[in-house]
């Protein structure tokens, strides 16, 4: 294993943070990038990678890694340091309230004019030209990053932009294991679900907000849209946001099992040899992201749930109640669509109009920018 360290430029006197990327393999095969903790209050994925690293150590020692595996065990040291009222902020940067997983640069826009004169009829050569342009523009932007958060984002993307597979490990509040992916590589989505045991795959080409996963896939789509009638643009890398259940699902036994499942996925894509386990989980329910309907509180008060996460419900079914403890008014919360209740909010008190959950169904109920901040 080789370790690359990037020291972030200090934002204030006396402080220093760094990003670390562990690299395994000979670099002569597929490139896989994994990171966790981009939302710094989401720890399940961080623990999963802690259990994955020894498995990769052994695989490399035994010469069983066929390619380049990059692991960033903590993707957001800046967020880890930001707490308020004895709680981690995690999701938003404290100064600007910018979501750490939004607003990554549009690489297609940045390199389109640059790569056009160098594109040919050779798809593999075009891939190399595009990846080199990605690396170059990110290095240039990182050298003049205005803030520590922007430098952090650019560093992470510079480590992933030339990967064939990108796994960004997150979690929700209360949730089943689920993932978000583009429709470009359905066979890999299926393999990952069958390897990890994901219950739900939410699919969208571009969901808005330029989150980290789409910052790695959307540029290839945009470049293909622009040049595809003249030059062959290869299929995008497979990139996913993999949601490891809920924030409280942090224990060694579960994380060790999840790490072994990731090794099964790595073996399935040919990056790890000599791994006996094969994908043994049922394939996930695959639905459009536009079919994930948000559920809102009809009044302020106390939330009590009538169903668990993972439950299949019908449109109009009561899935929870919100009780006003002063008036004793108890109002039902109804499923806005038929499908799976795949996530619920962490807090039991709520304000009127607050988001409480999401139900994923087949019917499209949302378009445009579909990622909540």
pLDDT tens digits along 169-213:
999 999 999 999 999 999 999 999 999 999 999 999 989 889 999
Whether 23 has a pLDDT exceeding 90, the answer reads: yes
Helix (H, G, I), strand (E, B) or coil at 208: coil
Q: What is the pTM for the complete model shown?
A: 0.97
- Split at pLDDT 50, 70, 90, the class of 371 is confident
Q: Where are the domains of the chain?
A: 2-283, 290-360
203 sits in which H/E element = strand 200-203
Q: Using the predicted structure, report yes or no on whether residue 28 has a pLDDT greater than 90.
A: no
Residue 271, pLDDT score = 97
Q: Over the stretch 104-163, which tens digit does the pLDDT of each residue have?
A: 999 999 999 999 999 999 999 999 999 999 999 999 999 999 999 999 999 999 999 999
Sequence-distant contacts of 52-59: CB under 8 A, at least 24 apart: 52/259, 52/262, 52/263, 53/22, 55/259, 55/260, 55/263, 56/1, 56/22, 56/24, 57/1, 59/24, 59/263, 59/272, 59/274, 59/275
Q: Just give the CATH number of 2-283.
A: 3.40.630.10
Question: What DSSP string describes 307-339?
Answer: S-TT-EE-TT-EEEEEEETTTTEEEEEE-SSSE
pLDDT band at 372 (very low <50, low <70, confident <90, very high): confident
pLDDT value for 128: 96
Length of the chain (residues) = 373
* 370: pLDDT strictly greater than 80: no
**Residue scoring higher pLDDT (15 or 45):** 45
Contact between 166 and 213 under an 8 Å Cβ cutoff? The reply is yes
What value does the mean pLDDT take over residues 11-21? 92
pLDDT of residue 117: 97
Q: Please determine, for residue 236, whether its predicted confidence score (pLDDT) is greater than 80.
A: no
Distance between start and end Cα atoms, the chain: 36
- CATH of 290-360, picked from 3.30.1330.120, 2.60.120.10, 2.40.50.100, 2.60.450.10, is 2.40.50.100
Q: How far apart are CA 320 and CA 264, in angstroms?
A: 37
Would the CATH topology of 2-283 be identical to that of 290-360?
no
What pLDDT digit, counting tens, does each position of 237-271 carry?
999 999 999 999 999 999 999 999 999 999 999 99
Cβ–Cβ < 8 Å for 294, 358: yes
Quick: pLDDT tens for 35-94: 999 999 999 999 999 999 999 999 999 999 999 999 999 999 999 999 988 888 899 998
Degrees (nearest 5) of the Cα angle 248, 252, 255? 75
């Amino acid at each position: 294993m080789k370790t690359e360290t990037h020291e972030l430029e200090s934002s204030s006197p006396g402080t220093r943070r760094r990003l670390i990327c562990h690299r395994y393999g000979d670099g002569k095969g597929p490139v896989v990038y994994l990171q966790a903790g981009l939302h710094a209050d989401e720890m399940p994925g961080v623990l999963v990678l802690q259990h994955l690293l020894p498995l990769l150590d052994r695989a490399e020692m035994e010469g069983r890694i066929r390619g380049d595996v990059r692991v960033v065990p903590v993707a957001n040291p800046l967020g880890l340091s930001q707490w308020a009222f004895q709680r981690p902020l995690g999701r938003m940067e404290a100064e600007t309230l910018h979501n750490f997983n939004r607003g990554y640069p549009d690489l297609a826009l940045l390199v389109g004019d640059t790569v056009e004169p160098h594109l040919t009829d050779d798809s593999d050569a075009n891939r190399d030209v595009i990846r080199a342009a990605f690396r170059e523009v990110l290095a240039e932007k990182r050298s003049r990053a205005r803030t520590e958060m922007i430098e952090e984002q650019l560093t992470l993307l510079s480590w992933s932009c030339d990967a064939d597979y990108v796994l960004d490990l997150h979690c929700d509040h209360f949730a089943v294991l689920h993932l978000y992916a583009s429709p470009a590589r359905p066979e890999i989505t299926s393999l990952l679900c069958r390897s990890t045991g994901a219950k739900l795959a939410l699919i969208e080409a571009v969901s808005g907000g330029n989150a980290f996963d789409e910052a790695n896939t959307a540029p290839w789509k945009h470049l293909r849209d622009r040049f595809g009638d003249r030059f062959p643009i290869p299929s995008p890398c497979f990139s996913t946001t993999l949601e490891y259940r809920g924030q409280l699902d942090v224990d060694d036994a579960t994380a060790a099992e999840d790490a072994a499942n990731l090794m099964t996925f790595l073996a399935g894509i040919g990056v790890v040899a000599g791994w006996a386990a094969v994908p043994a989980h049922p394939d996930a329910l695959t639905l459009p992201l536009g079919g994930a309907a948000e559920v809102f509180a009809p009044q302020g008060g106390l939330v009590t749930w009538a169903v668990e996460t993972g439950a299949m419900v019908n449109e109009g079914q009561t899935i929870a109640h919100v009780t006003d403890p002063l008036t004793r008014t108890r109002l039902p919360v109804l499923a806005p669509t038929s499908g799976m209740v795949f996530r619920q909010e962490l807090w039991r008190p709520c304000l009127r109009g607050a988001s409480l959950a999401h139900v994923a169904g087949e019917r499209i109920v949302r378009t445009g920018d579909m990622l909540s901040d």
